[in-house]
A and B are shown apart, each in its own frame.
Chain A
């Protein structure tokens, strides 16, 4: 091969390597940030679950988001996936979980609310009816964005009696090396179950079951607490998915960078070989020329 073309190839591989390296770095820092944010919201989550539990122990709570619906047949699914690609199997895994869920519930009509451009495709692949799409979320979810998502979800559930439940397809962040896509139920809210799913710390002082004084009344308190809890749940799920997305991207980019440097190594070898061949060729020509003259 020509030395020049090899050189060009080397340059482009080198550039790709630089870009993937940079993307890896960016994703590492973004992942760390979303994990931190996830941790920062833990206190609120723990406290609000404690509050619900304390309430729950000494009387039966009644709130539309806490009660099972006997009558409904349909399911509303929130799918959380990424906006961008280049993150390995991250979106594929979510997609698989969604497909599993669809297969496990034959005959159930499932509507979807999607977060991220890729989830639009996932919903399309599984023939789900998309009722709302959030593809403009910034890299770190702001309170307003989460609130508008939650509002859409709760309004859809509240206004349509035929929904039996709301489930969320997201990716659980286990560590920076492992994450797991799954589908979990969100509404009706089951305090114990959701708490476990979010792996919040068990609080020891469940004994302090003080009879609370409610001012002005219980219902108003519940009306405020339950949406707040749902907000935390969805915020944490979003952040976990985001952290998983970034760590998937870190891995994908690390592989790409490794491949690029491997390829560069091969190309360098080829280049040296070609260069050596052309030098030998030139010398042979010179020698040949001079011997012909003499």
Chain B
């Protein structure tokens, strides 16, 4: 397959670059819902919410947990995801992710009556860990 018919996808975080490859398509969760980007897409910038990025290459699907960020589609079938935090689904340790989720939920239950707790942050934590657990399970099923 010629390279210009493929998407060059880069998923990068401030800490490291998670993914860099030529793929057939990518599906991401944006604040407006899921979108799929194919090669030759028009330039686009859209914020991402906590969710997943699925890239399809040669019929195989690779999942990434995305902790919010920006999707930028450039000229020449280039896609850049700038994310706060991102992991490949196969890298997620499901037990630890579940533990972290439980911890966040417990904390939420405990602090239910206290006032000086940043609930927005807690909810975000929970959503994030939930997302990781889901993705890790998806990765294991295959």
Chain A interface residues toward B at CB < 8 A: 37, 40-41, 43-45, 47-48, 51, 55, 143, 146-147, 208, 210-216, 220-221, 224-225, 228, 231-232, 235
Given known A47-B82, A51-B72, contact A213–B12 (CB-CB < 8 A): no
Across the interface, do A224 and B47 meet the contact criterion of CB distance under 8 Å? Answer: yes
Across the interface, do B70 and A225 meet the contact criterion of CB distance under 8 Å? Answer: yes
CB distance from A240 to the nearest CB of B (A): 14
Give the residue of B45, B69, B80 whose beta carbon is less than 8 angstroms from that of A214: B45
Bound CA span A215–B37, Å = 14
Q: Beyond the given A40-B15, A47-B12, could you list 4 further A-B residue pairs with CB under 8 A, ordered by the A residue number?
A: A41-B15, A43-B10, A210-B43, A228-B14
Across the interface, do A232 and B14 meet the contact criterion of CB distance under 8 Å? Answer: yes
Residues on the B chain within 8 Å of A208, using CB: 74-76
Across the interface, do A44 and B47 meet the contact criterion of CB distance under 8 Å? Answer: no
CB distance from A62 to the nearest CB of B (A): 16
Residues on the B chain within 8 Å of A41, using CB: 14-16
**CB-defined interface of B1-29 with A at 8 Å, one 1/0 digit per residue?**
00000000010111111000000000000
Bound CA span A215–B43, Å = 11
Residues on the B chain within 8 Å of A232, using CB: 14
Across the interface, do A212 and B14 meet the contact criterion of CB distance under 8 Å? Answer: no
- Total contacting residues, chain B, CB less than 8 A: 27
Give the residue of A40, A146, A212, A235 whose beta carbon is less than 8 angstroms from that of B45: A212
Bound CA span A41–B46, Å = 22
> Does B122 sit within 8 A of A, measured CB to CB?
no
Residues on the B chain within 8 Å of A213, using CB: 42-45
B residues 27-84 near A (Cβ < 8 Å) are: 30-32, 42-47, 68-70, 72, 74-76, 80, 82, 84
CB distance from B93 to the nearest CB of A (A): 16
Bound CA span A221–B14, Å = 17
Bound CA span A105–B65, Å = 47
Bound CA span A213–B42, Å = 8
Give the residue of A51, A211, A235 whose beta carbon is less than 8 angstroms from that of B82: A51
Given known A40-B17, A44-B13, A51-B82, contact A221–B45 (CB-CB < 8 A): yes
Across the interface, do A228 and B16 meet the contact criterion of CB distance under 8 Å? Answer: no
**Closest residue on chain B to residue A233 by CB atoms:** B14
A-B contact pairs, 19 of them (CB 8 A): A40-B16, A41-B14, A43-B17, A44-B12, A44-B17, A47-B12, A47-B80, A48-B82, A51-B70, A143-B84, A147-B84, A212-B45, A215-B45, A215-B46, A221-B70, A224-B68, A224-B69, A231-B14, A235-B15
Given known A44-B82, A224-B69, A228-B82, contact A211–B43 (CB-CB < 8 A): yes
**CB-based closest 3 A-B pairs:** A210-B43, A215-B46, A44-B12
> Does B134 sit within 8 A of A, measured CB to CB?
no
Given known A51-B82, A213-B45, A216-B32, contact A37–B15 (CB-CB < 8 A): yes
Residues on the A chain within 8 Å of B15, using CB: 37, 40-41, 44, 143, 235
Across the interface, do A212 and B10 meet the contact criterion of CB distance under 8 Å? Answer: no
Residues on the A chain within 8 Å of B43, using CB: 210-213
Residues on the B chain within 8 Å of A43, using CB: 10, 12, 17
Bound CA span A37–B43, Å = 31
Residues on the B chain within 8 Å of A143, using CB: 13-15, 84-85
